[in-house]
Structure 1
Amino acid sequence: MAAKKKADLKVIIMGDYAVGKTSFICRYIEGKFKTQEPTIGAAFFLKQWGPYNIAVWDTAGDERYTGLSNFYCRNAGVAILAFDINNVKTFESLWARFTPLLESANKDCLVVIVGTKLDLVTPESREILVEEGKKLSMELNEHIDTSTLSRPPYFETSSLNGHNVKDVFEFVFQHCLPLSDSQRKNQHVSNTVDLYESTKTNSSKKKCC
């Protein structure tokens, strides 16, 4: 068995309970939608991006695991903060519960705001405007040079139909660990979405929420 390689980048995904974080990850990994059980504690996956190894941590949204999320933020180079576009409370909790945890992340940590469940959005159900999401994403990245970003770090996604899910990860990876044109071509040709479940905070089997 080949020796385990140290990750070149650590990505942590946080957000309230039931906003769809694990479904979001699983849509990227498997290319399809699955109904998921709530995450307990956290789950770890490894992504190969060109020559780089990227560790992706999916954390539980339940408040009782907030302390664990703080622990998993350590040395994170990217934080994806997810909320339900149809639920303003999940957006407000990004400020109240999750942004304080970023103090444990790297000083130059890229923060990406991701709205979920876009497929359920109607003019009546939408509780967060696109402009509000973009504004928050720029405010949370004032510690880095945002002129280096290809776009505001805000995405609205659907795990059901896959809208923008892949774009989020490619934006993150290409910003932090840019590939050359030839490397990107090979990446797409080989379709190496090789994230693997590695560990969990308890002994029960992890299902991709």
Structure 2
Amino acid sequence: MMAETKRKADLKVIILGDYNVGKTSFICRYIDGTFQTKEPTIGAAFFLKQWGPYNVAVWDTAGDERYTGLSNFYCRNAGAAILAFDMTSVSSFESLWARFIPLLDSALENCIKVVVGMKMDLLDNGMSREITVEEATRFSREINSHIDISKLPKDPYFETSSLKGSYVTEVFEYIFNHCLPLTEAQKKQADSTGIVDLSKSPATTKSGKKCC
């Protein structure tokens, strides 16, 4: 892992949110294509992905308040942030503004912030929604006032289920298409599964951006 982290990635993506909202299961669903329940993240976990010719670093941070200082460190130079909350927990949504948005002061100036409602499957099973689509969408617009949202394909808000795999890949593709645009030929070659071992692959950095 140490050898891999010496490579500069084209994009750094950070995922933030309260303890137990499902951040690690969300990333595992995207990386491995499976649903996994994991022990709480301590500090941060680091994953590598390849998107066409680009290398992407994905950082999963701990949601426990005692690790807030570490999360601030891991946000440094992030080009994109996923702000995750449990749609059945209003407190997890309120924490995004109170605890996690301030951490992104150390991210890149043009960092896109995508708000993601987790555990959509719980709503399908009869649990009550505590945050409306309108509230979450409005919040996603407010925190991206530095970006021309009219140029995005949709508002930076998604509702997902890691258990069922619903709209998980779409979140990452939304981010990558904004931060690392591909030609049509590159899109056909883009790998949407698996982790890339950058320590064994040839240098593929073609972007002038250094996001992490």
Shift of 1:35: 1.3
Is the 1:11–1:56 contact (alpha carbons within 8 Å) kept by the matching residues of 2? yes
1:55-66 mapped onto 2 (5 Å cutoff): 55-66=57-68
Shift of 1:147: 2.0
Shift of 1:148: 2.0
Shift of 1:124: 5.2
**Percent identity (aligned):** 68
Is the 1:45–1:196 contact (alpha carbons within 8 Å) kept by the matching residues of 2? no
Find the aligned partners of 1:44 and 1:90 in 2 and give their Cα distance. 23
TM norm structure 2: 0.87
Aligned length: 195
- Residue 42 of structure 2 corresponds to 40
Q: 2:46 aligns to what SS in structure 1?
A: strand
Q: 2:36 aligns to what SS in structure 1?
A: coil
Q: 2:37 aligns to what SS in structure 1?
A: coil
Find the aligned partners of 1:124 and 1:33 in 2 and give their Cα distance. 20
Which sections of structure 2, spanning at least 5 residues, go unmatched?
Answer: 200-212
Which sections of structure 1, spanning at least 5 residues, go unmatched?
Answer: 199-209
- Residue 103 of structure 2 corresponds to 101
Select the residue among 143, 146, 149 that pairs with 1:140: 143
Select the residue among 143, 168, 171 that pairs with 1:168: 171
Find the aligned partners of 1:108 and 1:94 in 2 and give their Cα distance. 19
Find the aligned partners of 2:42 and 2:11 in 1 and give their Cα distance. 23
Find the aligned partners of 1:39 and 1:70 in 2 and give their Cα distance. 15
1:184-199 mapped onto 2 (5 Å cutoff): 184-187=187-190, 191-194=192-195
Is the 2:13–2:81 contact (alpha carbons within 8 Å) kept by the matching residues of 1? yes
State yes or no: 1:155 paired with 2:158.
yes
Select the residue among 70, 73, 92 that pairs with 2:72: 70
Shift of 1:197: 11
Note the alpha carbon deviations across 1:69-91, whole angstroms, 9 max, x for none.
11111101101000000000000
TM norm structure 1: 0.88
Structure 1 residue runs of 4+, over 4 Å off?
A: 195-198
The 3 A distance-change label for structure 1 pair 197 and 93 is: farther
